[in-house]
Structure 1
Amino acid sequence: MTTSLVPALQNSYSETQAHKNNHFSSCTLQWRRGQLLVKSASNTQKIHLPSLHDEELLVRCLEKTLVNVVSIDPNVGEYDLKLWVEACEQAGKPIFLRLPSSNKQFKQVSRWQKLIDWIAALFLLVIMSPIMLGLFVILQIESPGSAFSSEWQVGERGKIFRAIKFCTTSNLNITPLVHLMRKYDLDHLPQLWNVLRGEMTLMGSRTCTLENAVRITLAGQQQMNQLSKIKDAWEESSLLHLDSQTL
């Protein structure tokens, strides 16, 4: 089942709100055996479906459907990508960034490596827990508020997840502790939890931020398109050359 959908502005939205929220993108939804594919589409069909640009409605739709996995095209745009990622998180649906088959940066990790990473992460978490607790307490004293922050990252097979870390960016004055944590990457210690959850690995394939993953993917697609155009042009010129010889 394939449906072409273009988010339309509700009558209650003002022009300023619409411009602010960038509700001018379009996407195509394809449902295949419990997997929902979200891809970019042309403005050929305009169907009003508020749930596609309202996060609360989108979360309700995802919760009530039989969708098990969501796969999203990086070409849908920054607004729609963020909307779907956050909605899937609230609905408890895993979401993956669609990657070209030639991309080996986010390749699947073997079960043995996952087991080794899990054991190593658990061991390090036990050993480093007193240090992490001390850092948490000091950060709370220096800058009251949340001691943790998170960012969207892309891992194995393009899975999008929140990578947690100690918050060292909200400090207006760089304290010696913050400088030490950044220098020795101590702010990334909470990501051992991500390793235990199977979202990250200590060795092997690396993760990157969602923004960088989209940039890498789109750049790869553009390069492939350019190579394809060059190949087509070369084949066309070769055929014309052969025809001229025949004549």
Structure 2
Amino acid sequence: MEIHRITKHSSAFFLIGEILSLNISFLIALLTRFNEKTPLSEEYYDYYVQLFLLLNTTWIALFLNSWKTKFPENFTSLSNSFNKRWLGLLIIYALLLVILKGYYFSRIFAGILFVLHLIFGNVLLLIVSKTIRYFQKKTKEVKILLICENNSKPNEIENAINKEFHYKANVDKINFQKDILLTENIGKNYEVVISAIKDVEKLLEIQRWCDINYINHYIFFSEFQPIFRSAELIKYVSATFLKIRDEPLNLPLNKFVKYFSDIVLSVLFLIVLSPLMLLLYIILFIKWNKTPIFKQKRYGQNGKIFTIYKYKTMENNSTPAICSFMRKFSLDELPQLINVLKGDMSIVGPRPYHLEDITKFKEKSKIFMVRHWVKPGITGLAQIRGYRGKIMDDYHFEERLRNDVWYIENWSLTLDLKILVLTIFQIPRGT
């Protein structure tokens, strides 16, 4: 029996849900764009039929490819996977418009189609994943045999099983004894065996016993949970490797998505905020009687030193009222949109540290430099959770670092958008 949160066999339900979302969105977009006042002419009817078939075929291909490589295990990963397919379909559609010079298909139709599909798709995925989990909980109890060593913590492991597995679990615990596996006919009573054992020979013995009794065998490594939390198992024909730290932004597609979204968002923000930025520039120029742009060297991605831009809000330890206001609402950070356009920073990512802080913090934590695997950001996960500004104490430092590393290991476009939205909501509160 599989004990994954969502198994590969569930893929058909999700594919049906996503295709349903795509086709409902297509129909609504068609009916919205073309009506009695602006009917769809017979000349273009065939083109939309062909587009309908192309979109469905492309989506199925994208779906099968993504589920073939790695199947998601919860709604967050399901949503991230769906959003990548959605973006892929959008890019393919945009290329189609370029090739056909946009002559055959309505842009209004396309806008309605893709916005609705993004919304409907995520809602349907949530409904399907919750439904599958509900029925998994309603199935018969799964009999699990937990085999431990004397120094194991069986109660801690049992709590993890009950928390993470979607099936109702009935767990029996025994200490490893080879004679028990050989002499007692206990295999028929269990569907799953979980071993909390380090010794390889013992694990192989348990595996042989599970093979004979047709039982799935899982291994629980309690001491290595912090490592395995982001690890990726890479299988080849002749060897298997464990990549200890999985970094989604190492993948070319994810890099492109991150870069593309940074450029689009930074240009959009610069256009929308340019009047405010110009006003702040003039006010500060009058206040300081010189350029109000403050430049400072910061530590960037892979140790690259770059120049960060901010509005100058302090001089000789003096902070005028307007500058205090700007700092409270993070308005002094707005020039960093230029850093994003230059490619030195990202909209979302770990905040960059001063150069003099790097040596100190590097000695303080062995994983500190991991946060520099990606571009620093204007806002980040640590900041929306309250760990911003000057490092106050060890707890503040450790929590900020933990959030930064978690962001790097779990990056997704959905996560970036969530952080950005929460940042926008927090700014008016001055938090």
Pairwise TM-score range, normalised by the shorter structure? 0.3 to 0.5
Higher helix fraction (1 or 2)? 2
TM-score between the two structures when normalised by the length of structure 2: 0.26
TM-score between the two structures when normalised by the length of structure 1: 0.43
